């Protein structure tokens, strides 16, 4: 993997940057001396956060490629290029697969998976053109490796992000590229993903996906919760080392290991 170690004076882009993980990542990149552009669908929150942390805010709907392409074009016009791109925007509403509507799937896949695809499509050529390379961080989840009831649609998108990131890493390595890529795999982090439905497009109508505050559930009481700023530090360290994976909760890797063992045990 290619490592990117020169942050100061360079430019970073973080989608979903108005709050939560994105804000934590953006703040840390600013602390490292980067010029940071945050994209978010919530205009008022976006501008408040941009003013608070010293970023540039550009409204972006990651489910719309034209919007993400416009974000890239505005970054290019203002800063010349980007060096770090964090495809982070995401939703986390829950619902059992049998209850989901097609519109539920379109919303979840449109934001979580297409949002990352759009970010890679719009920004990868820019990073590859940099003589000093760059780095892409795609926000997946521990749910990109394990599953649980009620989070099927979410897990589908996060497994997809892991596959995209792993394959992109292999292809960049084949090319001898100076661009690195990381799958950020958070466990429980205190964000407003528990209110994802606030941004569900009215055009999709009602569905079966529901917002649940996992911290208030039995599961939430049994795990370690961290703050977004800690995730920002983990991301910066992963970029510096050129890590393919960045897990925020190493203690949860036991569940991943068990899944892999069960796959191996299933062979004839």
Task: Give the strand pairing for 11-15 and 84-87.
Answer: parallel
Residue of higher predicted confidence among 78 and 216 = 78
Q: How confident is the model at residue 3 (pLDDT cuts 50, 70, 90)?
A: confident
| 3-class secondary structure per residue, 83-119 | CEEEECCCCCCECCHHHCCHHHHHHHHHHHHHHHHHH
Residue for token pair 């961080």 = 137
* pLDDT, tens digit (0-9, with 9 covering 90-100), for 44-69: 999 999 999 999 999 999 999 999 99
Q: Is 261 tagged catalytic?
A: no
* pLDDT, tens digit (0-9, with 9 covering 90-100), for 210-263: 999 888 888 888 899 999 999 999 999 999 999 999 999 999 999 999 999 999
Q: How confident is the model at residue 268 (pLDDT cuts 50, 70, 90)?
A: confident
Q: Is 245 tagged catalytic?
A: no
Give which of 203, 180, 193, 199 is closest to 154, Cα–Cα: 193
> What's the CA gap between 52 and 60, in Å, rounded?
19
Among the options 23, 27, 158, 194, which is catalytic? 158
Residues in contact with 262: Cβ distance below 8 Å, sequence separation at least 6, in sequence order: none
Average pLDDT over residues 88-108: 98
* pLDDT exceeds cutoff 70 at 173: yes
Structure confidence at residue 1 (pLDDT): 66
Q: At what angle do helices 20-31 and 228-241 cross, to 10 degrees?
A: 60
Average pLDDT score over the chain: 96
Among the options 27, 154, 178, 261, which is catalytic? 154
Which of the four CATH numbers 3.30.70.580, 3.40.50.280, 3.40.50.720, 3.30.70.980 does domain 11-265 have? 3.40.50.720
Q: What is the pTM of this model?
A: 0.96
């Amino acid at each position: 993997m290619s490592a990117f170690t020169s942050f100061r004076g360079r430019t970073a882009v973080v989608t979903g940057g108005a709050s939560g993980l994105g804000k934590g990542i953006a703040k840390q990149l600013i602390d490292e001396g980067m010029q940071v552009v945050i994209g978010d669908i919530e205009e008022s929150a976006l501008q408040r956060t941009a003013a608070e942390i010293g970023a540039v805010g550009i409204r972006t709907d990651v489910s719309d490629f034209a919007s993400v392409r416009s974000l890239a074009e505005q970054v290019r016009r203002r800063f010349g290029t980007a060096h770090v791109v964090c495809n982070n925007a995401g939703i986390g509403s829950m619902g059992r697969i049998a209850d989901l509507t097609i519109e539920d799937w379109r919303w979840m896949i449109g934001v979580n998976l297409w949002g990352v695809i759009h970010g890679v499509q719009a920004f990868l050529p820019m990073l590859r053109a940099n003589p000093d390379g760059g780095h892409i961080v795609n926000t997946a989840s521990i749910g990109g490796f394990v599953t649980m009831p009620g989070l099927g649609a979410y897990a589908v998108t996060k497994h997809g992000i892991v596959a995209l990131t792993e394959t992109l890493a292999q292809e960049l390595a084949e090319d001898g590229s100076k661009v690195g890529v990381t799958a950020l795999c958070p466990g429980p982090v205190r964000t407003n993903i528990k209110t994802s439905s606030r941004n569900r497009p009215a055009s999709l109508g009602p569905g079966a996906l529901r917002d649940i505050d996992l911290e208030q559930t039995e599961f939430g009481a049994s795990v370690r919760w961290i703050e977004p700023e800690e995730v920002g530090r983990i991301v910066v360290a992963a970029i510096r080392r050129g890590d393919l994976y960045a897990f925020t909760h190493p203690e949860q890797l036991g569940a991943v290991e068990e899944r892999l063992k069960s796959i191996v045990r299933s062979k004839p």
